[in-house]
Amino acid sequence: MIYDVLIVGAGHGGAQAAVALRQHGYLGTVALAGNETELPYERPPLSKEYLSGKKPFERILIRPADYWAGRSISLLPGRHVVAVDPDARTVAVQDGPSIGYATLVWAAGGVARRLSCPGHDLAGVHTLRSRGDVDRMVRELNSSGRVVIVGGGYIGLEAAAVLAELRKQVTVLEAQDRVLARVAGEPLSRFFEAEHRAHGVEVRLGAAVVGLEGRNGHVSGVRLGDGELLRADMVLVGIGIAPAVAPLLDAGAKGGNGVTIDEKCRTSLPGVYAVGDCALQSNRFADGAAIRIESVQNANDQAAVVAREIIGTPAEQQTVPLFWSHQYDLRLQTVGLSGGSDDVVVRGDPSTRSFSLIYLRQGRVIALDCVNMMRDYVQGRALVAAGLRCDRAALADTGVVLKTLADRQI
């Protein structure tokens, strides 16, 4: 079968590309091929409401089950693409016939990284990227009183919050000297460390895992660099992803830690676009550096750009990056990219559990992390979009409404 547009990866970016094509009136044939067997679903709830059981699977579908056929989008589940032939314009599928395309959209996301130490493959050691991953964890939770989470990033911390609320004894191991070190400033790290400890989670910083120990093939403990053994019935590894781009790079596409795309999301292969977690793109909010952004908004925005390119009505892209995380009753909302900041202003009092961090680079606002602070999140977007140079004292003063600063820039 040959499709006018073949999308590989039926997650956020892939699904949105198909949706956007039809929304813009595209009449060609569109197929959405993915290696999972489910209908396209939202990934953020996996470490939040789906893990906790508050939302059943049907409520995290990206579109209702009958949407796809109704829009003449061919869903091809269970297709794992292993190679791309850009000359023949075909993709090879593991254990299945190859599929032809006129235009290929690569939206394969990433694969959760695993530990490489002894014991990494014992039963009871999990990663959290797909519905199947969560279902496997949930099946074991009844018999797992002690859970050790390796990695203090957003996914590890969100899972820690859910598991603590499920009354598990949870330990978070972070190799660095603070949680969220890769993505947020120190005041936010310290705030979340304190919150987790207050909820009974043990947070260990500077903790190196050297091995996992088992009994009868099932994990029973985590060995640390200083020799200590932590008992564990379950281990969750949340140490990031590796972008799923091997078939594209093998076919000659430029890239490395992701596949390189230009501002129109084109890879270096003819007729091949890429979007989402797997795509490496120069970003003006990162001072032009080529980065991968792992967020729903980025995947959706890039998918919208590709759809507009395909139908021939190009659109501006690169809106301000947005992200969110939910832990306990805390709603964190992020605007912009804080990496590369040289100053952080704390706006409000973290002990009230409602505050914002405003990140500056050379006096200009580049990002905000807003905890239970919707107003700053909404109003801060304009400051980041414009890269405004603002008075530090005014930013810190909660009596000053952020949107008024746009008129008072220094």
Contact between 292 and ligand FAD per CB under 6 A: no
Contact between 46 and ligand FAD per CB under 6 A: yes
DSSP state, 216?
T
Contact between 325 and ligand FAD per CB under 6 A: yes
Q: Which of 5, 6, 10, 280 binds ligand FAD (CB under 6 A)?
A: 10
Q: Which of 12, 292, 308, 347 binds ligand FAD (CB under 6 A)?
A: 12
Q: Which of 192, 273, 323, 359 binds ligand FAD (CB under 6 A)?
A: 323
How many residues line the site for ligand FAD (CB under 6 A)?
35
DSSP state, 58?
G
The kind and range of the H/E element at 303 are helix 296-311
Contact between 301 and ligand FAD per CB under 6 A: no
- Asked whether the CA dihedral 135, 136, 137, 138 is positive or negative, the reply is positive
Contact between 126 and ligand FAD per CB under 6 A: no
Contact between 124 and ligand FAD per CB under 6 A: no
CB of 203 to ligand FAD, least distance (A): 19
- Closest by Cα among 108, 103, 104 to 79: 108
Q: Which of 5, 6, 7, 14 binds ligand FAD (CB under 6 A)?
A: 14
Q: Which is nearer to ligand FAD, 220 or 338 (CB)?
A: 338
Range list of H helices, 142-261: 154-165, 186-198, 246-250
User: What residues between 57 and 96 interact with ligand FAD by CB under 6 A?
Assistant: 79-81
Say if CB 47 and CB 158 are below 8 A apart: yes
Region class of 249: left (phi > 0), else alpha (psi between -120 and 50), else beta: alpha
Candidate segments 192-200, 219-227, 253-261, 320-328, binder of ligand FAD by CB under 6 A: 320-328
Q: Which of 89, 126, 129, 347 binds ligand FAD (CB under 6 A)?
A: 129
CB of 397 to ligand FAD, least distance (A): 30
Contact between 299 and ligand FAD per CB under 6 A: yes
Q: Residue with the closest Cβ to ligand FAD?
A: 11
139, exposed or middle or buried, with CB in 10 Å at 0-12, 13-18, 19+?
exposed
Crossing angle between the packed helical segments 186-198 and 154-165, to the nearest 10 degrees: 20
What is the spatial distance between Cα 280 and Cα 16, in angstroms, rounded to a whole number? 19
What is the spatial distance between Cα 247 and Cα 145, in angstroms, rounded to a whole number? 41
Binding site for ligand FAD (CB under 6 A): 8-14, 34-36, 43-44, 46-47, 79-81, 107-109, 128-129, 155, 244, 276-278, 294-297, 299, 323-325
